[in-house]
């Protein structure tokens, strides 16, 4: 047995927390993982609190400290390390035997020695089929060279929540997750990207993956050469695409469906071009025209349609929705750059694609053909914009529907947010994997802790103190909550030089 790294001994505690006395000269930190061994088995425990302990009564300690400060005396027994020490509270998280591991059902032996964890102690974490890579195991701020994977298909279809304050590394994490998924074929990804940060237009991004040519599809209102223009023919927009995203009164909805039932794909065009109609209230029509002008950028000058932005058209992009659906069901990663769009339009576009793939998969499910397809993940930033209590109270939208029933149809959400507390509890609880990063606000931490798959009630302090790139992974698909260090995306490129394929240009003549 290797006992080089002994850090303390168990001195008291109960099942909710084991107290150890820290060995002199050792510095333990919050979140660190420790082990205590018993023959071939061992417990893994995590530090959730640190405090002072002393055999000298408080009264005397204060007096001695005062005397020392005023340099009145030299009371060496007062700062004797034997009488004064550090107590560390641990939560037993796992009991490991040579052939299995599970939550501890008993306590380690009293006075057991405690060691720092080593890589060998966590070798049992295997790489599953359809792996989804999260990062490396972290013990406090020390990074262990053990990669953390969960079974991606399960994780993706059961929704993921990524939560942290601004600047703690949410976007970096999404880049790492999605970059590694480009090596796999079990999932299609739809990334709604309001900061145009994932494709890598000006720096490194998903486009730099060796499989990017085959797997990454980029839509933008100002496309780079070779990428697709984000443009939708208004004939492909359906009234229900507006559900829960554009606020409409009963009368307005009635008007919309009146036109839709009569004119089908020309409903938007005909509403915009409509003269005063006998059937519809003039006021309602006028409001709708104004709304459509805001959302779609369409107005009429005389009797022709006028398009203000390039996003909607009546002669381009008739296959855009269908193409995006096809890309997704073929396991591609579709990045939609919405950085130039207003919030409402961004959600409308994201919702249209989300609704498209969700309906497609629902349909496939009814035909029994769903399991031939990759699962699909929809990544959405600032998720409370569509999953917030106040938003959902006003009316259901497609993202809410997917959060509730997407699992049955193998469509999952990755909801990114700084404010998880705005999302209704039952939706939070439905997000079966949570990646929790640094969060200062305590009400946000409680929302996360209450809805986690593991009991992380002791972790609040840890979560508050997580540094950039550090995370706590809790998941229905993991036996324990795993402390993580997410690699910096840019560092993925230092590991190996990506192999660049040389293709021969065809269709032109060299002399």
Partner 1 sequence: MADLHLGGWREDTLREIGIKSFEKAIDISIEEKVDFILISGDLFDSSNPTIDVMASAARKLYQLKEKNIEVYVIEGSHDFSPTGRTILKVFQEAGLLKKVTSVDDVDGKLRLRGIKDSKTGISIYGVSGIRGSLEKATYDVLDRANLEESEGNKIFMFHSAIQEFKPSSLAHMEAIPISYLPKSFLYYAGGHIHDNGEFELDGYKNVVFPGALFPNNIDELLIFRGGGFYIVSYENDKITKKYVPIKIYPVIILEIPIDRMTSFSIEEKIKEITLNKDFTDSIVITKFKGKLEGNISSINFKKINEYLEKKGARLVKRDTRELILKEYKEVKNISFTKEKLEEDIISRHKDQIAIKGCATDTIPFVKNFMELLSREKKEGEKKDDYYTNILRDSLEYLRKLKLLGGLDEDNLS
Which residue's CB is nearer to ligand ADP, number 66 or number 167? 167
The binder of 188, among partner 1, Mg ion, ligand ADP, none, by C-beta within 5 to 8 A per type, is none
Looking only at the bridges linking them, the beta strands covering 41-54 and 84-96 are antiparallel
Min dist. Cβ of residue 182 to partner 1 (A): 14
The binder of 105, among Mg ion, partner 1, ligand ADP, none, by C-beta within 5 to 8 A per type, is none
Which residue's CB is nearer to ligand ADP, number 99 or number 166? 166
Q: If binding is defined by CB under 8 A, does position 225 make contact with partner 1?
A: yes
The binder of 228, among partner 1, ligand ADP, Mg ion, none, by C-beta within 5 to 8 A per type, is partner 1
Min dist. Cβ of residue 505 to partner 1 (A): 4
- DSSP 8-state secondary structure symbol assigned to residue 118: -
Which residue's CB is nearer to ligand ADP, number 194 or number 331? 194
Rounded-to-integer distance, Cα 237 and Cα 344, Å: 15
| Residues 264-323, interacting with partner 1 (CB under 8 A) | 310, 313, 315-320, 322-323
- Residue linked to tokens 């260090």: 485
Say how many residues make up the chain.
511
Tally Cβ neighbours within 10 Å of residue 124: 15
The interface region with partner 1, picked from 186-194, 428-436, 442-450, 498-506 by CB under 8 A, is 498-506
- Residues at the interface with ligand ADP (CB under 6 A): 164, 166-172, 468-469, 486-488
- Contact characters 408-447, partner 1, x per CB under 8 A: ----------------------------------------
- Total number of residues that touch partner 1 (CB under 8 A): 32
Q: If binding is defined by CB under 5 A, does position 171 make contact with Mg ion?
A: yes
Distance of CA 149 to the CA centre of its chain: 15
Decide if 241 contacts 358 (C-beta within 8 A): no
Q: If binding is defined by CB under 8 A, does position 82 make contact with partner 1?
A: no
Q: If binding is defined by CB under 8 A, does position 228 make contact with partner 1?
A: yes
Which residue's CB is nearer to ligand ADP, number 245 or number 435? 435
Rounded-to-integer distance, Cα 287 and Cα 199, Å: 38
Which residue's CB is nearer to ligand ADP, number 168 or number 407? 168
Min dist. Cβ of residue 352 to partner 1 (A): 15
Rounded-to-integer distance, Cα 44 and Cα 104, Å: 9
412: closest CA among 438, 452, 383?
A: 383
Min dist. Cβ of residue 110 to partner 1 (A): 57
Distance of CA 115 to the CA centre of its chain: 33
The interface region with partner 1, picked from 16-24, 290-298, 341-349, 503-511 by CB under 8 A, is 503-511
Which residue's CB is nearer to partner 1, number 226 or number 302? 226
Which residue's CB is nearer to Mg ion, number 175 or number 410? 175
Q: If binding is defined by CB under 5 A, does position 172 make contact with Mg ion?
A: no
The interface region with Mg ion, picked from 156-164, 166-174, 240-248, 350-358 by CB under 5 A, is 166-174
- Contact characters 13-52, partner 1, x per CB under 8 A: ----------------------------------------
Own/partner pairs, 108-113, CB within 8 angstroms, 24+ separation: 108/10, 108/18, 108/36, 108/38, 108/43, 108/45, 109/10, 109/36, 109/38, 110/10, 111/9, 111/10, 111/11, 112/9, 112/10, 112/36, 112/37, 112/38, 113/3, 113/6, 113/8, 113/9, 113/36
Which residue's CB is nearer to Mg ion, number 164 or number 472? 164
How big is the CA angle at 385 (ends 336 and 379), to the nearest 5 degrees? 35
Which residue's CB is nearer to Mg ion, number 170 or number 241? 170
The binder of 304, among Mg ion, ligand ADP, partner 1, none, by C-beta within 5 to 8 A per type, is none
Rounded-to-integer distance, Cα 146 and Cα 126, Å: 10
Beta bridge partners of 160: 414, 433
Among 4, 69, 120, 504, interactor with partner 1 by CB under 8 A: 504
Q: If binding is defined by CB under 5 A, does position 89 make contact with Mg ion?
A: no
460: closest CA among 477, 480, 440, 478?
A: 440
Min dist. Cβ of residue 172 to partner 1 (A): 28
Rounded-to-integer distance, Cα 28 and Cα 21, Å: 11
- Give me the DSSP letters along 56-116: S-HHHHHHHHHHHHTT----TTTT-TTTEEEEEEEEEEEEE-SS-EE---SPPPTT-EEEE
Among 118, 165, 208, 229, interactor with partner 1 by CB under 8 A: 229
Q: Which two tokens stand for residue 442?
A: 């305590």
Q: Which two tokens stand for residue 203?
A: 């720096």
The binder of 326, among ligand ADP, partner 1, Mg ion, none, by C-beta within 5 to 8 A per type, is partner 1
Q: Which residues bind partner 1 (CB under 8 A)?
A: 213-214, 223-229, 231, 310, 313, 315-320, 322-323, 326, 372, 501, 503-511
Q: Which residues bind Mg ion (CB under 5 A)?
A: 170-171
């Amino acid at each position: 047995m290797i006992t080089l790294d002994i850090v303390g001994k168990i001195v008291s505690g109960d099942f909710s927390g084991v107290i150890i006395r820290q060995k002199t000269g050792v510095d333990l930190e919050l979140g660190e993982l420790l082990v205590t061994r018993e023959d071939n088995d061992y417990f893994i425990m995590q530090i959730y609190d640190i405090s002072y302990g002393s055999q000298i009564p408080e009264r005397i300690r204060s007096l001695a400290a005062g005397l020392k400060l005023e340099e009145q005396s030299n009371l060496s027994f007062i700062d004797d390390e034997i009488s004064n020490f550090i107590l560390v509270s641990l939560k037993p998280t796992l009991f490991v035997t040579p052939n299995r591991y599970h939550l501890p059902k008993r306590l380690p032996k009293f006075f057991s020695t405690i060691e720092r964890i080593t890589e060998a102690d966590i070798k049992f974490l295997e790489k599953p089929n359809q792996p989804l890579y999260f990062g490396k195991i972290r013990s406090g701020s020390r990074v262990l060279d053990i990669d953390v994977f969960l079974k991606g298909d399960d994780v993706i279809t059961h929704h993921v929540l990524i939560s942290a304050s601004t600047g703690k590394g949410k976007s970096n994490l999404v880049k790492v997750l999605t970059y590694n998924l480009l090596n796999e074929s079990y999932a299609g990804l739809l990334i709604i990207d309001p900061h145009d940060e994932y494709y890598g237009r000006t720096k490194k991004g998903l486009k730099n993956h060796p499989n990017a040519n085959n797997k990454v599809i980029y839509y933008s209102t100002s496309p780079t050469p070779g990428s697709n223009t984000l443009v939708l023919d208004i004939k492909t927009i359906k009234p229900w695409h507006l559900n829960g995203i554009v606020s409409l009164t009963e009368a307005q909805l009635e008007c919309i469906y009146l036109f839709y039932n009569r004119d089908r794909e020309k409903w938007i065009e005909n509403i915009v071009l409509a003269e005063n109609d006998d059937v519809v209230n003039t006021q309602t029509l006028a409001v709708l025209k104004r709304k459509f002008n805001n959302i779609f950028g369409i107005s009429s000058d005389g009797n022709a349609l006028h398009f203000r932005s390039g996003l909607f058209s009546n002669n381009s992009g008739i296959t855009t929705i269908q193409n995006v659906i096809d890309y997704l069901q073929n396991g591609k990663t579709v990045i939609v750059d919405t950085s130039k769009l207003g919030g409402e339009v961004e959600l409308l576009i994201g919702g249209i694609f989300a609704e498209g793939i969700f309906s497609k998969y629902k349909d496939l499910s009814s035909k029994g053909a769903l399991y031939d397809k990759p699962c699909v993940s929809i990544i959405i930033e600032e998720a409370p914009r569509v999953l917030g209590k106040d938003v959902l109270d006003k009316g259901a939208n497609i993202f809410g529907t997917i959060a509730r029933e997407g699992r049955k149809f193998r469509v999952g959400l990755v909801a990114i947010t700084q404010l998880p507390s705005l999302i209704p509890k039952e939706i939070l609880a439905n997000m079966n994997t949570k990646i929790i990063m640094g969060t200062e606000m305590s009400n946000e931490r409680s929302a996360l802790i209450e809805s986690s798959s593991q009991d992380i009630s002791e972790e609040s302090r840890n979560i508050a103190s997580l540094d950039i790139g550090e995370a706590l992974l809790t998941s229905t698909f993991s036996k324990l909550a795993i402390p993580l260090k997410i690699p910096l995306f840019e560092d993925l490129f230092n590991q190996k030089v990506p192999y660049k394929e040389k293709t021969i240009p065809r269709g032109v003549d060299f002399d």
